[in-house]
Amino acid sequence: MPEIWLNYGITDVVLDIKAENLEQKIDSDGKILEDSEINEKLENIDLSKPMELVVLHNSKSIQKIISSLFTLCEQKSKPFPKILAEKKILNLVKAGLPEGISINEFDDVEISNSNLVFMGEMEFDGLFGYETISTRLIKKFGLESMLTAYAKRQGNLPTPGQYTESFTEAKKFSDNFEIQGIEIIANSQGILDFSIGHPSKTLSTTKILESNSIKDMGQHKTMIISTGKDASNDNLGNSFSSLWNCSNAIKKDGLAILVAECKGGLGSDALQQFIEDRLTLEQLRNPTKYINGMEDLLFLSEIQKNFQIALVSILPEFYAKKLNMISLPGMKYSMDYILKTQGVKQKVAVVADGARLLLR
């Protein structure tokens, strides 16, 4: 029996699957940067200037860059950058920092401070095509611009890995600020590359993401999808990206099982309002104001016309049912459910790094 470990929050869980049921395991690949290569690239940062490093989400690759940056400052006797993060991820980021490094809450709605260096790991995104520093900033600070970006979506299905008009809106938004970014490309093994510069310039890194992440798979009837990292499944809204990335490789009337712990809950106002019956699917088509996460709700309702979605998470079953998803209480139940509903000989494709893969 092959042993497959899939990310689930801060731990990994085992998927017990018989060899005859495993169609294939799909993982990301690419050449990992050596420590010396990381340090060489970081030399491009002017360490003599004061720097406030804003961590947009937590991941091993982000922690690695911070740690390398601090080592470099130490070697060159330069001042350490200030580390800032949103309150909800403050403790997570702090836990991964070198000892003795302090971190403060980033609650600044003013992003015009030119000492700010935003840091994020690039992924794919259903609305923008790519999740970048620019798209993270427009989502967080540009509510009016988000309405325009949402209105410019390409239909009502997700379009990960495409250069969309919505993406141009995000770039336009970040162009308004004199800030810097460190845009990271990584996979489950480590850092593949990163670029430093204004967030509208670091977008060129999408090419590296594409070359390592797009896989032509054909279509599968049954797929188990892990996001690959905690930051991508800490809430339901974040975990949906992995589903959008795999959606074109799932057959009509097939089944996708999303493995996402969601310890941070739903993660979006739109999902919350929908579950509380304060938002209807009809209101999603032409809204007069943007509600955080409404694109995911729209994509979910459209994609469910093509295949069924089940969820392995700690969210209440009530939430899953309200969103028309099958709730599975644990990893073991996912295989039981497949074999019971699709027959004991059903072949299953397993995706280990859904947030950083794009299946076609």
Residues 77 and 116 in one domain: yes
Using alpha carbons, select from 244, 254, 225, 240 the residue that is nearest to residue 154. Answer: 244
CATH number of the domain at 100, please: 3.40.50.11440
Q: pLDDT tens, 293-321?
A: 999 999 999 999 999 999 999 999 999 99
> How far apart are alpha carbons 155 and 171 in whole angstroms?
21
C-alpha pair distances (Å), 211 with each of 93, 289, 351: 29, 36, 18
What is the arithmetic mean of pLDDT over 105-116?
Answer: 78
Q: Which residues contact 356 (CB under 8 A, 6 or more apart)?
A: 28, 123, 124, 186, 187, 188, 209, 213, 228
Beta-carbon neighbour count of residue 10 at 10 Å? Answer: 13
Residues 233 and 170 in one domain: no
Residues 327 and 242 in one domain: yes
Three-class SS state of 304: coil
Residues 339 and 235 in one domain: yes
Q: pLDDT tens, 317-353?
A: 999 999 999 999 899 899 999 999 999 999 999 999 9
> How far apart are alpha carbons 141 and 102 in whole angstroms?
25
- Give the model's pLDDT for residue 108: 67
Q: Distance between terminal CA atoms of the chain? A: 28
CATH number of the domain at 308, please: 3.90.226.30
Strand 190-197: give its sheet, edge to edge: 103-105, 82-85, 52-55, 116-121, 180-187, 190-197
Residues 112 and 43 in one domain: yes
Residues 152 and 184 in one domain: yes
Residues 354 and 319 in one domain: yes
Q: pLDDT tens, 138-150?
A: 999 998 999 999 9
Using alpha carbons, select from 32, 97, 37, 65 the residue that is nearest to residue 181. Answer: 65
> How far apart are alpha carbons 46 and 62 in whole angstroms?
19
Residues 47 and 188 in one domain: yes
Helix (H) or strand (E) holding 123: strand 123-125
Q: pLDDT tens, 219-253?
A: 999 999 999 988 899 999 999 999 999 999 999 99
Residue 109 pLDDT class (50, 70, 90 cuts) = low
Domain-terminating residue out of 149, 175, 210: 210
**pLDDT, the chain, mean:** 92
One DSSP character per residue, 157-187 reads S--TTS--HHHHHHHHHHTTS--EEEEEEEE
Query: In terms of DSSP bridges, do strands 11-16 and 180-187 run parallel, antiparallel, or are they unpaired?
Result: unpaired
Q: Is 1 exposed, middle or buried (0-12, 13-18, 19+ CB in 10 A)?
A: exposed
Helix (H) or strand (E) holding 13: strand 11-16
**Residue listed under structure tokens 């209440």:** 316
Write the DSSP symbol of residue 122: -
Using alpha carbons, select from 111, 127, 129 the residue that is nearest to residue 56. Answer: 111
> How far apart are alpha carbons 320 and 338 in whole angstroms?
18
Domain-terminating residue out of 168, 188, 210: 210
Number of domains in the chain: 2
Q: pLDDT tens, 266-285?
A: 999 999 999 999 999 999 99
Q: Which structure tokens are listed for 264?
A: 């941070």
Domain-terminating residue out of 171, 191, 210: 210
Residues 262 and 342 in one domain: yes
Residues 353 and 236 in one domain: yes
Torsion angle, CA of 192/211/239/140, rounded to 10 degrees?
80
**Amino acid at the residue 78:** K
Residues 69 and 107 in one domain: yes
Residues 42 and 119 in one domain: yes
- Residue 110 lies in domain: 35-210
> How far apart are alpha carbons 167 and 1 in whole angstroms?
44
